[in-house]
C-alpha cells in the first residue's frame, strides 16, 4: 500500500506533464506538416504565453481566465507574425528545409533574449504567478490541483477536437493532404495558404495556452519554453513529426517516463532521480533505432 501511495505522486505529475506536452508538441507537429521545418522558435511561443499570463495576473491584477486568453492571443500573434515576416518569404524563395530551420533558430534566439532583456529590466527573471494552485483532492502522496483540472481536460479536448476536425471537416482533410505532400496539394489547388495560416494560428494559440498553464504550475523564466523544447521534440519524434495522434501518445510517453518511469527505476533499481532527462533521450534513441518514421508509421497511410 505504501508503494501505491508513493506511486500516486509521479502518476499525477506524469499525467499533468503529458497533457502540457501535448498542448505544446501538437503545434510543433502542425507547423512541421505545413512547412517541413522544425520550428525551434515554438519554445518561445510557450514562454511568451507564460509571461503574458504572469504579467497579466501579477502586474495588472487580471483573473486567471482573461490572463489565459491574453496568453493565447500573444502566442497566436507571435506565431502568425513570425510566419509572415520570415518563414513565408523563405518558402516563397524555395529555400531548402535546412535554411528554414536555421532561420527558426535565429528567431528563437531573438525572441528568447528580448524576453530576457524585458524580464531583466522589470525584475521578472524568475517569477511565480500570483495564482493559487489549489489542491483539489489528495490521492496517496499525490495531489490533484487546479492545474490538473485545467490542463488534462484541455489536452483531451484538443485531441478530440483535432480528431473531429481532421476526419470530419473538409479543411481538416485538406490539411492532412497538405501534410502528406505540400507540392501535390499545391498542384491540386488546395488552399495551401489558408491551411498554413490555420496551422500557425492553432500552434501559436496552443503554445500560448500551454505556457499560461505552466506559469500557474511552476515559476517562469525566459528560457522556460527553451528548457522544455527537448521534451516537445521527443514527443513529436515519437509521432514521426507528422502524426497528431502519434504526438499525443508521444507527449504522454515522455510525461510519464520522466515521472513515473524514473520513480519506478529509482524504487526498484536505485537509479538516481537526476537521470530523468536521460530517460527522454533514451526514448528518442530507441525510437530512432526502432521506428524512425514514428510509432504509428507501420499503420500505413494513417496520419491521425
What residues pair up with 137 in beta bridges, in sequence order?
144
Minimum distance of another protein from residue 81's CB (angstroms) = 13
* Separation of alpha carbons 60 and 69, rounded Å: 14
Output the smallest distance, CB 1 to another protein, in A.
Answer: 31
Would you count residue 161 as binding another protein (CB under 8 A)? no
C-alpha cell at 226: 527553451
If binding is defined by CB under 8 A, does position 45 make contact with another protein? no
What nine digits make up the cell of 283?
Answer: 526514448
Counting contacts by CB under 8 A, is residue 301 touching another protein? yes
Helices (H), the chain: 2-35, 42-58, 64-82, 88-92, 97-121, 146-168, 170-180, 182-187, 192-217, 224-238, 244-256, 262-269, 276-290
Angle at 76 between CA 74 and CA 77, to 5 degrees: 65
Q: How far is the CB of 254 from another protein (least distance, A)?
A: 11
Binding map of another protein across residues 248-277, x = CB under 8 A, - = no contact:
------------------------x-xx-x
3-state secondary structure of 133: coil
Closer to another protein by CB, 155 or 241: give it: 241
- Interface with another protein, residue 84, by CB under 8 A: no
- Region of 241 on the Ramachandran plot (φ > 0 left; ψ -120 to 50 alpha; else beta): left
Least distance from C-beta 100 to another protein, angstroms?
Answer: 8
Structure-block grid coordinates of residue 178: 497538405
Candidate residues 4, 288, 299, 302; the one interacting with another protein per rule CB under 8 A? 288
* Residue 92: other Cβ atoms inside 10 A: 8
Minimum CB distance to another protein smaller for 15 or for 37: 37
| Cα Rg of the chain (Å, integer) | 19
Restricting to residues 98-117, name those near another protein by CB under 8 A: 98-103, 105-114, 116-117
Compute the least distance from the CB of residue 38 to another protein, in Å: 5
Name the residue nearer to another protein (CB basis): 43 or 67: 43
Q: Is the dihedral of CA 43, 48, 54, 58 positive or negative?
A: positive
Among positions 204-243, residues that touch another protein (CB under 8 A) are 229-230, 233-234, 237, 241
Q: Which residues here bind another protein, judged by CB under 8 A?
A: 32, 36-38, 86, 89-90, 93, 95, 97-103, 105-114, 116-117, 120-121, 229-230, 233-234, 237, 241, 272, 274-275, 277-278, 280-281, 284, 288-289, 292, 300-301
Amino acid at each position: 500500500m505504501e508503494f501505491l501511495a508513493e506511486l500516486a505522486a509521479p502518476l499525477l505529475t506524469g499525467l499533468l506533464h503529458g497533457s502540457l506536452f501535448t498542448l505544446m508538441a501538437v503545434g510543433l507537429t502542425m507547423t512541421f506538416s505545413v512547412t517541413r521545418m522544425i520550428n525551434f522558435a515554438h519554445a518561445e511561443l510557450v514562454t511568451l504565453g507564460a509571461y503574458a499570463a504572469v504579467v497579466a495576473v501579477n502586474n495588472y491584477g487580471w483573473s486567471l481566465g482573461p490572463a489565459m486568453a491574453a496568453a493565447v492571443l500573444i502566442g497566436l500573434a507571435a506565431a502568425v507574425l513570425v510566419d509572415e515576416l520570415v518563414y513565408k518569404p523563405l518558402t516563397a524563395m524555395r529555400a531548402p528545409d535546412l535554411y528554414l530551420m536555421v532561420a527558426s533558430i535565429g528567431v528563437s534566439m531573438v525572441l528568447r533574449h528580448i524576453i530576457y532583456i524585458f524580464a531583466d529590466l522589470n525584475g521578472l527573471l524568475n517569477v511565480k504567478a500570483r495564482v493559487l494552485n489549489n489542491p483539489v483532492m489528495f490521492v496517496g502522496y499525490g495531489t490533484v490541483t487546479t492545474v490538473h483540472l485545467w490542463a488534462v481536460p484541455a489536452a483531451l479536448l484538443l485531441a478530440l477536437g483535432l480528431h473531429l476536425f481532421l476526419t470530419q471537416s473538409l479543411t481538416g482533410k485538406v490539411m492532412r493532404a497538405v501534410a502528406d505532400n505540400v507540392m501535390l496539394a499545391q498542384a491540386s489547388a488546395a488552399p495551401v495558404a489558408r491551411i498554413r495560416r490555420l496551422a500557425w494560428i492553432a500552434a501559436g494559440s496552443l503554445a500560448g495556452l500551454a505556457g499560461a498553464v505552466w506559469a500557474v504550475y511552476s515559476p517562469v523564466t525566459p528560457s522556460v519554453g527553451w528548457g522544455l523544447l527537448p521534451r516537445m521534440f521527443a514527443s513529436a519524434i515519437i509521432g514521426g513529426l507528422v502524426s497528431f495522434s502519434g504526438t499525443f501518445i508521444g507527449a504522454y510517453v515522455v510525461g510519464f517516463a520522466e515521472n513515473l518511469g524514473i520513480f519506478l527505476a529509482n524504487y526498484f533499481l536505485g537509479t538516481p532521480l537526476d537521470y530523468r532527462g536521460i530517460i527522454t533521450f533514451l526514448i528518442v534513441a530507441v525510437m530512432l533505432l526502432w521506428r524512425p518514421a514514428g510509432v504509428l508509421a507501420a499503420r500505413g497511410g494513417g496520419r491521425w
